[in-house]
Amino acid sequence: MRVVSLLPSATEIVASIGMQSALVGRSAECDWPPRVLNLPVVTAARVPTEGLGSRAIDAGVHEAIAEGASLYAVDERLIRELQPDLVITQDLCEVCAVSSGEVRSIRGLGADVLSLDPRTVGQIEGTVDTIADRLGVCERGSGVVHEMRRTILEAERSVHGHPPRRVVVLEWVDPPFACGHWLPEMVDMAGGVELLGREGEPSRQVTWDDVRAADPELLVLAACGFDAHRTADEAGELPLDVPAVAVDANARFSRPAPRVAEGVAQLAYLFHPEAAADPGYPAVVVTPA
């Protein structure tokens, strides 16, 4: 089986079930585990993000969408040369990866196309099982899912009985976007109450007045595609008047992959440090300008 993954979460899942050797190509965003960086890159974002602030990136994405342009450049020739049996992508978010329709439109490809579109933690677990089944290693998928559930259950047990923390998780900081899909569920599992996010639904733009009106005890800044330090640097320029902490969204929050279980463990500690163990993942307390 030869697999091209255009989705960072799928690349992570394939590696987690011990099938990295099946991968023959990746998107530019596929960066975990680090050893996949040696694979040929078959897609790249048209909107540059390096060196740009959140607002500039947001403006560039909206401009491209308004013009009806694809956000990704696809190297069709290279994909055909790699001769994949399976191409994995998604239709959940037009900003996150090439759509399945774009892949199917590649002439002469001749590969199966698998679209992964999870919206909840349970559906993320389901995508692990789906990929494992397609690659013929069902039992390995079950093992990964079992480990995810064990990590989440330990976090839930550690905060059980403690008053839930009132929190807002933002998936973008300038402009602010309230979280959606699996993130509100992660907050609940970790002993919090998400005040603006909508479980199972896309993230949505809000205002800083909306954030203040929700009156959270803590802001968790999980900017999609950013690590904790880049998020903290940008958030430090904003007029925050609520305690805030930046986390590595790229690793444990934005991508629907096994490490969201680690994200639940980290949130449990951030919400209830008196009860939950510190898993030691990157987090930066944000000091407003």
Cβ burial of 131 (10 Å; 0-12, 13-18, 19+) is buried
Helices (H) and strands (E) in the chain, counts: 11, 15
Q: What is the pLDDT along the chain (289 residues), one digit of tens a residue?
A: 999 999 999 999 999 999 999 999 999 999 999 999 999 999 877 656 666 667 766 666 656 555 555 677 888 999 999 999 999 998 765 555 576 777 777 777 889 999 999 999 999 999 999 999 999 999 999 999 999 999 999 999 999 999 999 999 999 999 999 999 999 999 999 999 999 999 999 999 999 999 999 999 999 999 998 999 999 988 877 777 889 999 999 999 999 999 999 999 999 999 999 999 999 999 999 976 6
Phi, psi of 288 (to 5 degrees): -60, 155
The per-residue pLDDT for 64 is 53
Cα distance between residue 152 and residue 120, in whole Å: 14
Cα distance between residue 155 and residue 151, in whole Å: 6
Cβ burial of 69 (10 Å; 0-12, 13-18, 19+) is exposed
Q: What fold is seen in the domain 3-117?
A: Rossmann fold (3.40.50)
What class has domain 141-285? alpha beta
The per-residue pLDDT for 106 is 78
Average pLDDT, the chain: 90
241: Cβ contacts below 8 Å, ≥ 6 apart:
212, 288
Cα distance between residue 220 and residue 162, in whole Å: 19
Provide the pairing of β-strand 180-181 with 283-285: unpaired
In this structure, which amino acid lies at residue 80? R
Q: Where in the chain is the domain with CATH 3.40.50.1980?
A: 3-117, 141-285
